[in-house]
Structure formats: C-alpha cells, structure tokens
Structure 1
Amino acid sequence: MTQTRRRRPSARQRLLEAADDLFYTRGIASTGVDAVIARAGVATASLYKNFAGKDDLVASYLDARDARWQEHWEFHIAQHQDPHGRVLALFDALRTWETEPGTSRGCAHAAASVQLPPDHPGHAVAQRHKQRIIERLRQLLDEAGHPNPNEASLDLMVIYEGTFSLLALNLDADPVARARQLAHQRLSITGAPNRARDE
C-alpha cells in the first residue's frame, strides 16, 4: 500500500503561521522579524523573497487571519435557514473561534489598529476587516427584513467588539453566550420578521 507523502508547508506559509502566533500573543511592535524567522525555521532570505519587509508581513498576516475568519463565519451562517439565526451566527462563529478559555488576547485586528500608525498597510487591513463584518451583518439584517439594517449592524458590532474584551480579560464565565442573548434581544426589540429564507 502506497502512502502519500504529506507536503511540507511552503516557506511563505510557515512564516505566516509563525507571524500569526507571535504577533498575536506577543504584540506586533515587540516582535522582530528575526523571531518570526526563527519560529518558522526558514532562512532570512526566505522572508525577503516572500515579503517586502516586516510591514508587508504584518499586513499579510492580518489578511490571512481575515480570510480564515470570513470562511469560518460563512460556515456558521450556512448552518441556519432562518434569517434571524443567520444574523446571530456571528456569535456562534466566535464561540468556536475562541476554543481555549484564558488564551484569548482579544481581536487581532483591533489590537493591530492600536499598535500600528494610521499610514501602516496593516492598519488599512484591520479597518477593512471590521468594515467587512459590518457590511455582512447589514446584508444579513436586510435579508431578515430588519427595518433599519444600517443602525442594527453597528449595534451588533458594538456587542461583538465588547465580547472580545471580556474574553481577553476573563471577566465573564461565558461572554459569548451573553453577547448572543443581547444581540437576540436587540433584534427582538425592533420586531424584525424571522421568516424562513427562500431556498
């Protein structure tokens, strides 16, 4: 029986994985490229072959994290047929994204927006990540027949962002459940219909 040899991740992928771990847990400013190179186990030249420098690596790390989150969230949205549940799937996704209690450092994109100057390419990626979430929420709320999807999407975003703070500070036994309930109440107050989505 022939065994398929598992391909080793590319140098670029290993650098991104190392950056994801180190930038998230230690902070972007306090993590130099030498630490990322050492964690990835690649030659220094590999970093500069794949990225223009640290700024480009930071932006690429945030882009990759955004792509993973969007895919993760869409998976949870697809688990619901009713529009109300599709809106609340944001919090279902967050629950399975943060799997180990006490390990959260909050939102990587929010942290990056604080650590990086406004003209840093990573700052634009972080801002775009948040805008995508708001826009997708607005779309889902519109599909659910919400009377004011623009305002409601921002309200849900406030709840979502606050959840990250509680997770990072470990101030609540189950902040995601609390956040989901608050979001449910916010939707219920407006009387938004909960009609089944046409298949």
Structure 2
Amino acid sequence: MTPQPSARERLLDAADDLAARQGMRATPVDEILGRAQVSPATLYAHFGNKDGLVVEALRRRLSRWEVTWQACVDEADTPEDKVLALFTALARHRSSHTPSRWCVFLGAAAETPSPGSELASTLADDTRLLVDRLESIAQEHLAGVPARVLAHRISLVYTGVLGMILRGSEVDPVIAEGRAIAALAIRSLADGAAPADT
C-alpha cells in the first residue's frame, strides 16, 4: 500500500494544482485546506500563512521545471536542438504536472502587483533561470552566436507562446510554432545578422 504523502506535501500539491487551474489569489485558503485535508493550524505550522505556502509551491514547481528542462537539453542531439529543448520541456512539463492556464509564475506576477520580498525573489528566480539558462546553453553549443541576444529573443518567443496558451490557442500547435520561430532566430544570428541592443 502506497503511503499517503505528508501533510506538507499535500498542502504543496493542493496549492500547486489549484493555482495552476484558477490562480493563486482566486484560490481561498479553505479550498486548499479542503483539498489537502489538513487543518489551518497545520498550514500555519509548516508555512506561516498562505503567502508562505504559495512561495514554497512556486519554488517546488520551479525546481521540477528546471529538472525537466535539463533532461530535454541532455536528450537533444544537435546544438540547435539543445537550445530549442526549452519548447520540448514546456510540452513535457505540461503533460507531467498540472497544466496551467498559461504560466503559474506570470500568473502570480499579474495577480500580485506589489509582491512581498519572498514572492518577488521567487518570481525573479524564474526569469533569471529562463534567460541565464538559455544564454548558457547557447554559449556552450552555438559558437559565434551572440548568446545573450539569442537568450532574450527566445525568451520573448517563449513568453508569447505562454500568452497564446492563455488566449485559448491549441497547446501543441502553438508550442511547435514557437519552436519554429525560435529556430529562425538562431539561424538569423548564426548567419551574421546584426543583433539589436538588448
């Protein structure tokens, strides 16, 4: 018999699932408690308050996303495919975890115009991972391509894909289109097109 997850894990699972489906701010604490089958005292003992739970759920989601992305990079065969593995990872992440309406981190940022320091730091970690990882992969695998410029361009494409998912586009086709546009960005820079300042 599989042991039941701990109360802490049930709270994180509930917060992650509900936030992905309907947003952090739209999810009342009572709904999280009911899904996790724990008391308010348990939430406060583990996380202090709802905001603490939200931050920890986001951090766990970011850690899982990083693992998925790295696995897709490792599996890619060509230098270009290693950069484009971002889009493979997006599709895989959505199929292996609760699919969100678009991006839980962008959603949290939109819902919280004045986040506390912990939430602000966690949201910044997500952005930093996106841009810095893309730059690092490009530097390692695409000699001669301006890695920082490419990272910013692909980040814009990726964010556009997430936005189109929110608008109701079919997920697989829009991810494929985003990958194709990102591939054009790689080839443009590889062919020596003058990069704009970023």
Give RMSD over aligned pairs. Answer: 1.9
* TM superposition shift of 1:97: 2.3
Contact 1:116 1:122 in 2 (8 A): no
Corresponding residue SS for 1:42:
coil
Whole-angstrom distance in 2 between the partners of 1:30 and 1:98 = 21
Give the direction of change, closer, same or farther, for the CA distance of 1:146–1:168 in structure 2 (3 Å limit). Answer: farther
User: What is the match of residue 132 of structure 2?
Assistant: 135
Choose between structure 1 and 2: higher helix proportion: 2
Contact 1:112 1:123 in 2 (8 A): no
Contact 2:20 2:100 in 1 (8 A): no
Q: TM-score, normalised by structure 2?
A: 0.87
Unaligned runs of 5+ in 2: 192-198
CA deviation string 1:94-113 (max 9, x = no partner): 1222339xx64111001111
% identical aligned pairs: 28
Unaligned runs of 5+ in 1: 193-199
Corresponding residue SS for 1:106:
coil
User: What is the match of residue 195 of structure 2?
Assistant: none
Q: TM-score, normalised by structure 1?
A: 0.87
Q: Which of 26, 48, 51 matches 1:52? A: 48
Match of 1:163, as an amino acid? V
Match of 1:184, as an amino acid? A
* TM superposition shift of 1:146: 4.1
Number of positions where the alignment pairs a residue of Structure 1 with one of Structure 2: 187
Contact 2:23 2:104 in 1 (8 A): no
Residues 6-21 of structure 1: pairs in structure 2 closer than 5 A: 6-21=2-17
Structure 1 stretch displaced more, 154-163 or 104-113: 104-113
User: What is the match of residue 158 of structure 2?
Assistant: 160
